[in-house]
Amino acid sequence: MALQLIGYARVSTDEQALYGYGLDAQEAKLREHARRAGAEMVVIRDEGISGKALERPGLMRALTRIAAGDADGLVVAKLDRLTRSVIDFAMLLEWFTVADALLVALDFDLDTSTPSGRLVATIMAGVAEWERGVIAQRTRAALAVARAQGRPVGRPAVTDELAHRI
């Protein structure tokens, strides 16, 4: 019987989800991996949901299927699509170990079923968490400059059409 895998794809913003930015590329990479491995794959997506927490509908659905024995493991195109938190990654890594399931990140060619794979994956999860912090810091700084210059930040309270009607 062929290996049963779940591919997991995620984008953070509603705009990325609406236009498919990143999702199609992730899914193509996941399906190519399954084809080369001779595995069967179902792809589950979380669209427009941040990776800062694990409580995501698609991810929970994937983990439930793995726990039930319906799949042998999870494959992600990029580790940061799974999580950007070292603590969450450590919990997931332990969960996959106890469940005797595969966790594969294609961007680093990581297979966490080996000690070396787990080490490198943990380091890369740390880098992803750092990156999330740097992005947030840059965003806060840019918004502060815009506010100091008197430029509006965020979405307008009313649309242009509504303002015209008023």
Question: Is 113 in the active site?
Answer: no
Report the first-to-last Cα separation within the chain, whole angstroms: 66
Distance of alpha carbon 144 from alpha carbon 159, whole angstroms? 24
- From 143, 123, 6, select the one nearest 76 (Cα to Cα): 6
Provide the token pair at 127.
């880098």
- Inter-CA distances, 81 with 27, 58, 163, 164, Å: 12, 12, 39, 42
The 3-state DSSP composition of the chain as helix, strand, coil percent (nearest 5) reads 55, 15, 30
Q: Which of 12, 50, 85, 113 is catalytic?
A: 12
Angstrom distance (rounded) from CA 70 to CA 65: 5
Instruction: List residues with catalytic annotation.
Output: 12
